Structure 1
């Protein structure tokens, strides 16, 4: 049956697809009293529970494609984040902006921290703006606007002739980063079936690895240059990413290509222009006909299945609508949503406390561990490629192991390696211990990229209510930046030769913080694998303890 002929539909003006709605959903009938709709909703939810991973992937290839496309925007945040970490290890950059230290030069700790922190400060602003803007414009148009802003702000960083201006450029670039990281996990989790949520949201971590690989390859290729192009070429790659430019070492070629391609990232924006809007967002805005078309585009083309999915979404949205009206930031700290917000914030913030910052400054870490600069850049490239492999392996972990299980075991593993890193750095040093520290740094990054990193995004996207998702993912990411900004300073202080110069002894610090993350997750992290959004709502509303989420049975007919 079609929505247009269904008397449950709310009339909408379909001629203005992208016009900002002035009101939230106005229910003309009680959805939860409609027997036909509920029967469709029961059938739709049961189908999602029964569908395996491979079956879901075969039936929803377009949903996977659009989820991956949205997650691909994270490559740009990753690229810039890792780029700053590599700049401080570039000889030409050190000589241009550094101070004499030993036999060479080093970027002062305060400027290292400023370079690392400025983008995060901008992103902090972006994630708070992302929620309200997305609620008004939708995921597609919000992300497209952020891409335009991103490419405009790159000009400042590229033409910067001082550390001050470079820091300003990074801060402004950070604002669209906030939009990307807030929207990508929410959009990906809303357009794919239940069994694919883990793998598709885990792709966010893979996007981080892709960004780091490009940075590692670019900086390795240019680290021997003695002029400003050693860092300007990698900066310019953000404009023409992805392109064949990274395979060339000719400045004149760069200049010619920039005149042709220095425009807002056309391939990604074109793809997102044709992407379907999240049907969950459309239903929340009362645009059910458009939601049905979106579901049909994302699914196997079956009108019956699409109608059942629509009914399932309507039911969940109505259940949540009874808890409150138009979503606001204050709703995140009210009632049971406070618990969900705390979990989201803790998951995001904990990414900074289990060795991830070693990966973000891998090249500089290798140099401080006693590895030569050229070898350090080689190891960084190897490290980035291994992270990509770990991300791919996480696709096979998420469908078969619980989110809670992966997080706890991944954290425990990294705690062990971090303390081992500290111990090796504490004994008399030699060439062997230097490489042992470097290898442990790579292993820690590998474990993070295969467990904690990707599963955190899955947990974040599943924990928030549908009604507050755009706001929740933004505030959660803000918690990440609140934790990361001081930790970046601490990481730079620990590694820098003008600071504490701890090298691998930083493993003691990160090992200790990772233990705290493990303890908090053990007591507060619920298991949401194979749970529909309706079931998650009910479990949180009943205040079920985190360790009992997995064993609690929720009937398909229950609404509260």
Structure 2
């Protein structure tokens, strides 16, 4: 039996693939190729990387675009609770406020999808380790097409909530796999920009929702909300075709011992030069072997052992912190504008403006990731929003008039803009870079689970802060979110390392040496070091 056949048998029949990689670190020729491959990535500029790897950029963006479906649904629910026809159909009449969706149902609409996604992210890791990023995502897209039917034909809030929960399961697949896949298929200079496009997918979803709900806001029948729900079907099938055509991550293929397929994948992603693609393959083999010596087949328990525990904590904290620095104001922007005293039609218009500005901020984040470090962007972005959130709270605390209403709305838009241009997109970059290659599929899933654990109660709190049937605080919620953002800033200052310009081998070594977070940037790792 040939070596290739043995590898195929091992791939099909065992969780732990034992291929001749144990000899990798003792193979001088391969190590020299790996060193050349790593030096090539370090020497490559951003624009050079784009020119030599255009297909990698395309496939990374395509995978990241799957997040548009979670974004679409999250913002759709935020607009439904502010839509007159939806309020009359499913709401209650509150004296002085008119028709409104009760707080418990608002929370349920927002939380149900996240509960489903919480299940999905835990399923995503083991499934991805078994069948790969592509087929796991394709499975999620098929499920997405099926579950949209439940929400579209729902005739009660109960059924709508059930539909949202079932839609959430494939969301979990997408959000767990997209940052991991994007970070693995592009060269080092493009990791920041390509993983940051996840936030752009969120903005695209919000723009489509804002435009659709603005267009149907004046309708007084069921199609005011059913047509926007039906628009979800425009995404899964085209994406399914594109993902089917995309190459599998070469890192995943190497972990499974499928080196020939990994080499073809590298060539499809941009490594047309035989020498360059061979060097890249050797670099990946070297890193995979270093990590394999730390443990066998990856399991969820491995995330909480040794230095991987620290990496898991950082991933979970960064993901969870997205809920504590003003992001939930953006998710409920239309309702926030109405509670701040803006008329219904103008609130929907402002929401569309807000979504478009977020898209602009996302584009700006590409340049920020090229110019500044991950830690720098996160800390300064969070500090800026802390200041703006407290100003929002002060603005809502003084005697109110038309000017203060618009000031609150403008501050809400600026807070969303800062989030979408800094700590939002850079969080995905940090998450993708922090985990080890061996545990990445599991780590991004557990990290996103931490996001949902934080988000689900925070959604209830956000609804309670704004709803007339709750605390009805409007812009005073800035005090609450400003306070939580302060906690996030201090945690990041002490625990968040700088990983810009670091290959996955260097990142492994830095964590294994148990260096303090603030020393990561200044520590020099020789290209020949394995530990």
TM-score, normalisation: structure 2? 0.98
Q: Of the candidates 77, 84, 99, which is equivalent to residue 84 of structure 1?
A: 77
Q: Is the 8 A contact 2:97 2:468 kept in 1?
A: no
Counterpart CA distance in 2 for 1:45 and 1:333 is 29
Structure 1 unmatched ranges of 5 or more: 1-8, 242-264
Deviation, 1:27, is: 3.1
| TM-superposed deviation, 1:400 | 1.3
Corresponding residue number in structure 2 for 1:554 = 525
C-alpha contact (below 8 Å) 2:7/2:257 kept by paired residues: no
2:19 to 27, 41, 51: 27
Match of 2:244 in 1: 273
Distance in 2 of aligned mates of 1:483 and 1:198: 25
Shift of 1:76: 0.5
Which of the residues 147, 167, 171 maps onto 2:165? 171
TM-superposition CA deviations, 1:477-514 (whole Å, max 9, x none)? 00000000000000000000010000000000000000
Answer yes or no: is 1:515 the counterpart of 2:494.
no
Higher helix share: 2
The change in CA–CA distance for 1:454 and 1:103 in structure 2 (over 3 A counts) is closer
* Alpha-carbon distance in 1 for matches of 2:245, 2:97: 55
Distance in 1 between residues matched to 2:313 and 2:171, nearest whole Å: 22
Cα contact 1:69–1:272 (8 A) shared by 2: yes
SS in 1 for 2:234: coil
Contact 1:12–1:287 (8 Å) recurs in 2: no
Match of residue 428, structure 1, among 394, 399, 414: 399
Q: Note the C-alpha offset of 1:346.
A: 0.3
Structure 2 equivalent of residue 260 of structure 1: none
* Match in the other structure for 1:353: 324
Q: 1:122 corresponds to which residue?
A: 116
1:207 corresponds to 2:201: yes
Q: CA deviation at 1:25?
A: 2.7
Secondary structure class of the residue paired with 1:398: helix
User: Is 1:95–2:88 an aligned residue pair?
Assistant: yes
Where does the alignment leave 5 or more consecutive residues of structure 2 unmatched?
none
CA separation of 1:473/1:12 partners in 2, compared to 1, >3 Å: closer, same or farther? Answer: farther
Task: Please say if residues 21 and 285 of structure 1, whose CA atoms lie closer than 8 Å, have aligned partners that are also in contact.
Answer: no
Instruction: State TM-score, norm by structure 1.
Output: 0.93
Structure 2 CA distance for aligned equivalents of residues 117 and 293 of structure 1: 42
Where does residue 507 of structure 2 map in the other structure?
A: 536
> Which of the residues 221, 226, 234 maps onto 2:228?
234
Pair 1:49-2:20 in alignment = no
- Give the conservation status (yes or no) of the 8 Å contact 1:14–1:290: no
Which residue of structure 2 lines up, in the alignment, with residue 253 of structure 1?
none
Residue 297 of structure 2 aligns to a residue whose secondary structure is coil
3-state SS of paired residue (1:399): helix
Displacement after TM superposition at 1:299 (Å): 1.5
CA contact (8 A) 1:78 1:208 kept: yes
Name the Cα RMSD after superposition.
Answer: 1.3
Cα distance, 1:267 vs structure 2: 1.4
Asked if 2 retains the 8 angstrom alpha-carbon contact of 1:21 and 1:136, the reply is no
C-alpha contact 2:120 2:170 (8 A) present in aligned 1 = yes
Residue 399 of structure 1 and its aligned partner are, at CA, apart by: 1.1
1:249 corresponds in structure 2 to none
Q: How many matched pairs?
A: 528
